[in-house]
């Protein structure tokens, strides 16, 4: 297990998935995923809900064990939780009974508590340390969660749709913040999102997962900081989005039955 010495911090770790498979009973959620991520790379995983992208992240986090296949982090086979990996969840998951600064310092040794205030400053909430989390807005809570993740100087940061519940403006602010901190700290980042624009705005590579299979691996070569109004940006976003919406192998069928199913379901409730 790697510890977060300052020597290794600020340096991302490489990630290698070989034939990674996850089954829940009969259902295969992730099917022979094959993916290599360079140290310090920012990779976004997109896909429809239920496609297996969150499962992939939970496997990398060590929150769940793979059914088969291998997963190497920093060249070593990976099992269980790692001390140099931090996760940002969709909900901020702050402890409501700890003040903001104590939330950031969660799991830190007493001697490093000063670092918490510094990172809180970096996410722009330096003056809110003494507040209860209940007093913060959704965006501020996610910033605290980001600070809490970064204070450990992780080599790998996993982001599980962390901005999904935020409004569009706050989201754009958070993109800039995450990009800035990623550039500054240099960790490897793996972002799961259903928002293609978010993926294109942040990632070096966008990976599409479809029915548990990696269906697309697109390099985003746009210079940073990226502007959403840019023509190249828009073209890339459109291409990936089109690819997400189209489903090869099941031509044109999925929409109608899904709609009928929903209607029948609704009907049952109405009766």
Partner 1 sequence: MSNTLQELQTGPSASVHPEQPWTYPHLGLHIPPNDALALAVKAIARRLLPWLVPLALITAWHIASSAGWLSTRVLPAPLDVVQAAWTLAESGELWTHVKVSAARALTGLAIGGGLGLLLGLLTGSVRFFETLLDSSIQMVRNIPALALIPLVILWFGIDESAKLFLIAVSVFFPIYLNTYHGIRNVDPGLIEMARTYGLSRWQLYTQVILPGALSSILVGLRFSLGLMWVILIVAETISAQAGIGYLTMNAREFLQTDIVLVGILLYALLGKLADLFAGALERSWLRWHPGYQAKH
Q: What is the smallest separation between the CB atom of 152 and partner 1, expressed in angstroms?
A: 8
Q: Tell me the number of residues near partner 1 by CB under 8 A.
A: 23
CA angle 44–156–187, rounded 5-degree value = 85
Closest CA to 91 of 25, 44, 21, 144: 144
Q: 3-class secondary structure for 123-184?
A: CCCHHHCCCCHHHCCHHHHHHHHHHHHHCCCCCEEEEECCCCCCCHHHHHHHHHHHHHHHHH
Stretch that binds partner 1, among 20-28, 59-67, 179-187, 255-263 (CB under 8 A): 59-67
Q: Does 100 bind partner 1 (CB under 8 A)?
A: no
Stretch that binds partner 1, among 8-16, 96-104, 116-124, 165-173 (CB under 8 A): 96-104
Give the one residue of 11, 39, 63, 165 binding partner 1; rule: CB under 8 A.
Answer: 63
Give the one residue of 134, 221, 245, 271 binding partner 1; rule: CB under 8 A.
Answer: 134
Instruction: Say how far apart CA 175 and CA 200 lie, in whole Å.
Output: 11
Give the one residue of 38, 91, 173, 211 binding partner 1; rule: CB under 8 A.
Answer: 91
Q: Does 106 bind partner 1 (CB under 8 A)?
A: yes
Question: In the chain, where do the E strands start and end?
Answer: 15-24, 27-37, 42-46, 68-73, 76-77, 85-88, 156-160, 188-192, 205-210, 213-219
Give the one residue of 81, 168, 183, 258 binding partner 1; rule: CB under 8 A.
Answer: 81
Q: Which residues ranging from 138 to 167 are in contact with partner 1 (CB under 8 A)? A: 148, 152
* Interacting residues toward partner 1 by CB under 8 A: 61-63, 81, 83, 85-87, 89, 91, 93, 95-99, 106-107, 132-134, 148, 152
């Amino acid at each position: 297990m790697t510890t977060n010495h300052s020597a290794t911090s600020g340096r991302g770790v490489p990630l290698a998935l070989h034939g990674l498979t996850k089954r829940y009973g009969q259902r295969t959620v992730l099917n022979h995923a094959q993916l290599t991520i360079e140290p310090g790379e920012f990779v976004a995983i997109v896909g429809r809900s239920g496609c297996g992208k969150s499962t992939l992240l939970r496997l990398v986090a060590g929150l769940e064990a793979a059914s088969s296949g291998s997963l190497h982090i920093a060249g070593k086979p990976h099992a269980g939780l790692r001390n140099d990996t931090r996760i940002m969840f969709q909900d901020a998951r702050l402890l409501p009974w700890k003040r903001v600064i104590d939330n950031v310092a969660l799991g830190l040794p007493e001697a490093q508590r000063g670092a918490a205030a510094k990172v809180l400053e970096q996410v722009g909430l330096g003056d809110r340390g003494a507040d209860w989390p209940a007093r913060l807005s959704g965006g501020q809570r996610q910033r605290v969660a980001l600070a809490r993740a970064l204070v450990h100087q992780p080599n790998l940061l996993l982001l599980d749709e962390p901005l999904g519940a935020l409004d569009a403006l706050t989201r754009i602010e958070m993109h800039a913040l995450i990009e800035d901190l990623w550039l500054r700290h240099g960790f490897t980042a793996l972002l799961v999102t259903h928002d293609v624009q978010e993926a294109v705005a942040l990632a070096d590579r966008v990976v599409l997962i479809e029915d548990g299979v990696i269906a697309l691996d697109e390099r985003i070569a746009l210079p940073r900081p990226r502007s959403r109004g840019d023509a190249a940006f828009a073209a890339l976003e459109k291409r990936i989005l089109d690819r997400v919406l189209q489903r090869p192998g099941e031509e044109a069928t999925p929409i109608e039955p899904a709609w009928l199913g929903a209607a029948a379901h609704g009907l049952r409730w109405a009766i």
